[in-house]
Amino acid sequence: MEIKILQDIMQSNKNVAGEVKALLESKKIYMIDMMSSPGSGKTMLTDRLIGALKERYRIAVIEGDIKTTRDAERLAKHNIPIFQIETDRFGGDCHLESSWVKNCLEQFDLDSLDLVIIENVGNLVCPAEFQLGDDERIVVLSVTEGEDKPAKYPLMFNTSDTLVLNKIDLLPHLDYSMDELMANIKNVNPKIEVFQVSAKTGEGMDSLVQHISAGIDGKKGA
């Protein structure tokens, strides 16, 4: 019985993700689902991306956190639409579901948006299971988390389109093997595109910004 209920939840999440995808397609809006473990620097990365993209594109953010609106407050300076989901109110869930994203999107003026960035709840496990109807799944991994995460959380890395390796400014202080990381990542997902960045210093951000711009332009048919 419990298995049946779980299947129903996953199926209904998948169905609504399909509705979200269709909605975004009709409005030609590009959506990114950004996932990572806590402390990987997602919010600083989002901050950088908004800063680099907001002159050219109209952006909105959906912030998922179990509790607190701290991340949303850090992005408030950009004066763009931000919708905070405190999953605590829905029973402390450690991931976002497509129906919540759909409700958020209905709060935005979709005719005046080009890009929606979802900052998912910090967790490398179940966000991977819940499709949200996005165009691109980005997993953010900081070099301080070690090289073995793709091997330990294969689903997350296997279902992502893009890996942003963050905090590369710390590499000189770490005993980090880029070769080992790359071998681990290629093992679970040979097709994933990798960007090495420091959201703090801005290093490597240009190619990531170009990559996302290409996605937005591609969807607009520009």
Instruction: Tell me the per-residue interface mask from 55 to 74 with Mg ion, x by CB under 5 A, - otherwise.
Output: ----------------x---
Tokens of 152: 């330990």
Of all residues in the shown chain, the one whose CB is closest to Mg ion is 43
Contact 88, 121 (CB under 8 A): no
Listed in sequence order, the residues at least 6 apart from 159 whose beta carbon sits closer than 8 Å to its beta carbon are 128, 137
71 binds, among Zn ion, Mg ion, none (CB under 5 to 8 A by kind): Mg ion
Chain centre to alpha carbon of residue 51: 17
Tokens of 1: 């019985």
98 binds Zn ion (CB under 5 A): no
Answer whether 171's CB lies under 8 Å from 158's CB.
no
Look at residue 11 and give its three-state secondary structure.
helix
| CB distance 87 to 65 below 8 Å | yes
126 binds, among Zn ion, Mg ion, none (CB under 5 to 8 A by kind): Zn ion
Residue type, 117: I
Q: Looking at beta carbons only, is 119 or 136 nearer to Mg ion? A: 119
Q: In this complex, which beta carbon is closest to Mg ion, that of residue 76 or of residue 183?
A: 76
Rounded least distance, CB 67 to Zn ion, Å: 14
Given 23, 44, 80, 94, the residue binding Zn ion (CB under 5 A): 94
In whole angstroms, the minimum distance from the beta carbon of 140 to Zn ion comes to: 17
Q: Which stretch binds Zn ion (CB under 5 A): 88-96, 97-105, 149-157, 190-198?
A: 88-96
- Collapsing DSSP to helix, strand or coil, 4 comes out as helix
Task: For the CB of residue 8, give the shortest distance to Zn ion in the complex, in Å.
Answer: 16
Between the alpha carbon of residue 108 and those of residues 2, 99, 113, 116, the distances in Å are 36, 15, 8, 10
Count of residues near Zn ion by CB under 5 A: 3
Q: Contact, 166 vs 198, CB < 8 A? A: yes
Positions 125 through 154 that interact with Zn ion (CB under 5 A)? 126
Binding residue for Zn ion, selected from 42, 48, 95, 219, defined by CB under 5 A:
95
Q: Tell me which residues touch Mg ion (CB under 5 A).
A: 42-43, 71
Q: Tell me which residues touch Zn ion (CB under 5 A).
A: 94-95, 126
